[in-house]
Amino acid sequence: MVKRKSRRAPSVAPLMELATSFWAFKTLAAALELELFSRLSSTRGTTPRELAALLGTAERPAEMLLTGCAALGLLGKSAGRYRNSRLAEEFLVPGRPYYFGGFVEMLDRRLYPGWAKLVEAIRTNRPTTWDPDRQASLFDGADPVMLAHFWEGMHSISSATGRVLASKVDLRRHRRLLDVGGGSGAYDIELCRRHRQLRATVYDLPHVVEIAARKAAEAGLASRIGTQAGDFFADAAYPAGHDVILLSMILHDWSEQDGRRILRKCWEALPDGGALIVCELLVNDAKTGPPPGALMSLNMLIETTGGRNYTAAEYTTWLRETGFRKVRKLRLDGPGADGALIATR
């Protein structure tokens, strides 16, 4: 009798890695809060004893923090001294052009507590980062310090994603871009840097376009990036005079009904031959992943009253039923979006 080979039991290691993934995040967040990377920027590095003296802590936790950051690739070590890695020096030192720390701070201070109540969000179908019974929207009555972290965080992730989009999308025949719900204008800055003929308008709430105007000025693009205050639900029509409209990480905030309303107004604002770009983390058509889109969708559960991340097939249906044609999908490798759908009016 031939013995059947027994199936090898799966390893628990992937579950261990998944279950402890927050350890890595909180190590990064703690290092940022303690200003570790700015303290080590452009220096000869530090030792556990020196860092302990600098932070006013015992040497034991200082050494643990340095070891943890080195293990995560955030620090390197040579001749007994810890120094910023290239990754940390480029993205985790305040003042750098593409500082990513704002997004990490927003995650730590706003989203981490909300995700701790994920079961509550699932059971109630309500956000956990704000109370819809007390606020009209996500931002009404919010702590201004928290809002500042939010917008800096969004600027960080949008700048990185905007660079990817700018390198992939062909805008040579377009001259005027309208960024609906454009936030800090990060996408517009990157698109205008790449496409010299392009001018952009950031269309968002009054207090938000003030941030966009400041960011555009800091980038030396105030003459090419303008702003227009408004409300893309309350306003009867979107600003005219643009031949391409961008919806960057916008539609996932809203229900399908609201998303279709936004697309209809975009269609009405564009001339014949104008283009619409929908830039998002996409869920695959089978709704089995990938993790970035699927988990961002859960993030919309704790952050919004009706939003989720959608599939390319869902967006394509909405676009075609709105009247758009020639819908095509562009793959991206950005932290805030892994795909863009481009449609023609």
| pLDDT tens digits for range 208-253 | 999 999 999 999 999 999 999 999 999 999 999 999 999 999 999 9
Q: How many CB atoms lie within 10 A of CB 323?
A: 13
Q: Is 248 left (phi over 0), alpha (psi -120 to 50) or beta?
A: beta
**What does the pLDDT average to over 322-337?**
96
CATH no., domain 101-344: 3.40.50.150
What whole-number percentage of the chain has pLDDT above 90? 87
Using an 8 Å Cβ cutoff, are 297 and 308 in contact?
yes
Q: What is the band of 145 on the pLDDT scale with cuts at 50, 70, 90?
A: confident
Place of tokens 């628990």: 12
Express the helix, strand and coil content of the chain in percent, nearest 5 each. Answer: 45, 15, 40
Using an 8 Å Cβ cutoff, are 87 and 73 in contact?
yes
The widest CA-to-CA distance across the chain, in whole angstroms, is 83
Q: How many helices (H) and strands (E) does the chain have?
A: 15, 9
Q: How many CA atoms lie within 13 A of 30 on its CB side?
A: 14
pTM comes to 0.91
Q: What are phi and psi of 279, to 5 degrees?
A: -115, 115
Place of tokens 């998944």: 18
**pLDDT recorded at residue 102:** 87
Q: What is the band of 330 on the pLDDT scale with cuts at 50, 70, 90?
A: very high
Q: What are phi and psi of 78, to 5 degrees?
A: -150, 145
Distance CA 128, CA 118 (A): 8
Distance CA 292, CA 313 (A): 17
Q: What is the band of 97 on the pLDDT scale with cuts at 50, 70, 90?
A: confident
Place of tokens 């309350």: 234
Question: Residue 5 above 80 pLDDT?
Answer: no
**pLDDT recorded at residue 153:** 78
Q: Would you say the CATH fold of 101-344 matches that of 16-91?
A: no
| pLDDT tens digits for range 267-298 | 999 999 999 999 999 999 999 999 999 999 99
Two tokens at 178?
């309208």
Mean pLDDT over the full length of the chain: 94
Question: Please, which residues have CB within 8 angstroms of residue 93's CB and are 6 or more apart in sequence?
Answer: 37, 38, 41, 84, 99
**What does the pLDDT average to over 102-114?**
92
Domain map (residue ranges) of the chain = 16-91, 101-344
Architecture of domain 16-91: Orthogonal Bundle (1.10)
| pLDDT tens digits for range 149-182 | 778 878 989 999 999 999 999 999 999 999 999 9
**Residues recognised as catalytic:** 252
The CA–CA distances, whole Å, from 39 to 35, 71, 174, 266 equal 6, 19, 44, 46
**What does the pLDDT average to over 316-340?**
96
Place of tokens 């593409």: 98
Two tokens at 210?
């003030």
Question: Residue 147 above 80 pLDDT?
Answer: no
